[in-house]
Amino acid sequence: MHTPLGKSMRTTLLSLAIGVLACVSLTAQLSDSSSVLENPSVGYPARLVGIVLPAPRVIAQAIEAREQQLVVRILDTYAHGTDFRYDIEFYGLEPGTFDLADYLTREDSGTAEHLPQIPVTIVSNQSTNGFPTPTPLEPRRAAFYHFYKTVLMVGGILWVTGLVALIFVGRKRKKRQTASASPKSVAERLRPLVEQAAAGTIDEKGKAELERTLEVFWRRKLNLNDLSASDLRKTLREHPQAQEMLKQFDLWLYRPGEAGNVDIDELLSPYQSLPMDELQR
């Protein structure tokens, strides 16, 4: 038969056992947490896994200041009743003890004063004994900053000026080349056609060009613009100067054996009097 005292002792022993198990579990969690935060070195990341923080939800602050000493990043967030559980990664930019909560802010842009302190220690893996602390560099503008816009404007003007000069110089050069390549007189235009006709190598295009040039030249020189093509040819065959070229041209084309030797310079002498550009107009 169980006495009330024995029942009370069993209840007490059961409570003590549960308490011991809870302490062991809590000690194991703290041990795991300590292994994560075992004084990470400068520049080496460390993690807080499953840390519970009271609501409202928080996020990592943006890196804005150059002199910021700790870089914090939240890897994941879980609901934990009315609070939140976080996986947080961080690394230090210089040795020292810092409050991780200073680098967190509320998701709704409010202040994070509700957070408890989360102390972390960053150590240096190099000894500074005997070495002076480097002097921090102050950011400053380059020496040519004030002249930057002026240099750009001057460079742009020079570039445009050079481009315009190249365009106009190229056009003038092309005009000079065209002018030098173009025949200056009707005789110069007729010479290669006449030489081809005398050699028997003139093609149909050359024949048409030769006949057209002769026709236009004598129409202009003799003021025969109102004559038809047949009347013009008949008139030119009776003209003492025009008939020489026409007769010789017919011999070269249709009776080359009777053409004989011809002085081309003398044959072209009547056509030296008119510049080619006047004939074209």
In a domain, 103, yes or no: yes
Mean pLDDT within 152-168: 87
User: Where a domain ends, among 122, 154, 174?
Assistant: 122
User: Where a domain ends, among 122, 148, 166?
Assistant: 122
pLDDT digit string, tens, across residues 100-111: 888 888 888 777
In a domain, 244, yes or no: yes
**Separation CA 251–CA 197 (nearest Å):** 10
Retrieve residue 213's tokens.
Answer: 């040039």
Length of the chain, in residues: 281
User: Where a domain ends, among 100, 122, 144?
Assistant: 122
0.75 exceeded by pTM: no
Choose the weakest-confidence range: 98-112, 118-132, 187-201, 267-281: 267-281
pLDDT digit string, tens, across residues 48-93: 888 888 888 888 887 765 567 888 888 899 888 888 999 999 888 8
Residues 276, 191 share a domain: yes
> How many domains are there within the chain?
2
* Percent of the chain's residues with pLDDT above 90: 2
In a domain, 156, yes or no: no
Helix (H, G, I), strand (E, B) or coil at 163: helix
pLDDT at 213 over 60: yes
pLDDT at 181 over 70: no
Q: What's residue 157's pLDDT?
A: 92
Q: What's residue 86's pLDDT?
A: 92
Most confident residue range from 14-18, 207-211, 258-262: 207-211
pLDDT at 260 over 50: yes
Where in the sequence is the domain holding 112, given as residue range(s)?
Answer: 36-122
Which residues fall within 8 angstroms of residue 61, CB to CB, at 6 or more apart? Answer: 72, 103, 104, 105
pLDDT digit string, tens, across residues 22-56: 444 434 443 444 334 567 888 888 888 888 888 88
Alpha carbon 17 to its chain centroid, in Å, reads: 73
pLDDT digit string, tens, across residues 232-242: 788 878 887 77
256: closest CA among 189, 213, 201? 201
Helix (H, G, I), strand (E, B) or coil at 263: coil
